A and B are shown apart, each in its own frame.
Chain A
């Protein structure tokens, strides 16, 4: 039995290899040829905008908290109308492992992964992407979500002006 098994074990790989000689190769001639990855492929990270064209990122730090390699850093700031946003936002792609935790953690759909995997560079500083490098002019995967329309604290609509809110309470109101 032992001998037979050994012979089979030695010959079978050759048989398999032989079989592949007559099949179409799985590899492609990158970079002349390019593969189209599936839409949920996890590669280059972008910051998206809401349907009104404003930055979705509210600098909540959840992505940076979730990031296992600490490649995201940012500073929150506030606009005149009370919108929290990222004064600067940096992803260090030399460190990024494309795990997607940041996109998972993002409560505003701001940070999203794209299938664009061509982000290698000889100068590491070029892989330090700032906000202007990350921000795109679109909504990405969700065409509708606008955090400030659901947050319940004003900003895009006057306070109490969103669909699921009552107009502001006035303790001096006449109606009991």
Chain B
């Protein structure tokens, strides 16, 4: 279980859940914590969330499968969300999406072979002024051009390389 969430954090969440009257309100919080730590929420993560909050896995799964930003399947180290809503679409979002698919060599919902990037479409990111926009992790980028996308990906790659080598 420690792979999903450090024991210390589990204890902290359990303590908090025990304090509050409605532990269900923490479902999204705990799922997001697991996701932040583990990258995505496997079945064991749903069970762990249920255990932390003292509720049934079904109740957690109902929530986890509803929200699109809870990943119930493995994703790469960085999730690239490219906006496909109207503002980005009207300013060339589709071309950027095509460019991303070509550059990364993957389709929507897929992860690059090196396990670094997962590409997903998303609804409006609230960056309509900077359309077309995308979000990598929790950072929003825009307005995008093909060159800019390449630069951002390169930057992310470099950062990932740093953290990985740092860990080793």
Q: Do chains A and B touch in the complex (CB under 8 A)?
A: yes
Contact residues of A with B, CB < 8 Å?
171-176
Those of B113-130 within 8 Å (CB) of chain A? 118, 120-123
The chain B residue with its CB closest to the CB of A170 is: B73
The interface residues of chain A lying within 8 Å CB-to-CB of B109 are 173-175
The interface residues of chain B lying within 8 Å CB-to-CB of A174 are 71-73, 75, 109, 118, 120
Q: How far is the CA of A176 from the CA of B73 in the complex (A)?
A: 12
Q: Are B121 and A171 in contact (CB under 8 A)?
A: no
Q: How far is the CA of A171 from the CA of B121 in the complex (A)?
A: 16
Let me know if B103 is at the binding interface, CB within 8 A.
no
**Which of A171, A174, A175 is the most central at the interface, judged by chain B CB atoms within 10 Å of its CB?**
A174
Q: Are B72 and A176 in contact (CB under 8 A)?
A: no
Q: Which of A171, A172, A173, A176 contacts B123 (CB 8 A)?
A: A176
Interface string of B101-118 (1 = CB under 8 A from A): 000000011000000001
Q: Are B65 and A176 in contact (CB under 8 A)?
A: no
21 intermolecular pairs with C-beta atoms under 8 Å apart: A171-B65, A171-B72, A172-B65, A172-B72, A172-B73, A173-B72, A173-B73, A173-B109, A174-B72, A174-B73, A174-B75, A174-B109, A174-B120, A175-B108, A175-B109, A175-B120, A175-B121, A176-B120, A176-B121, A176-B122, A176-B123
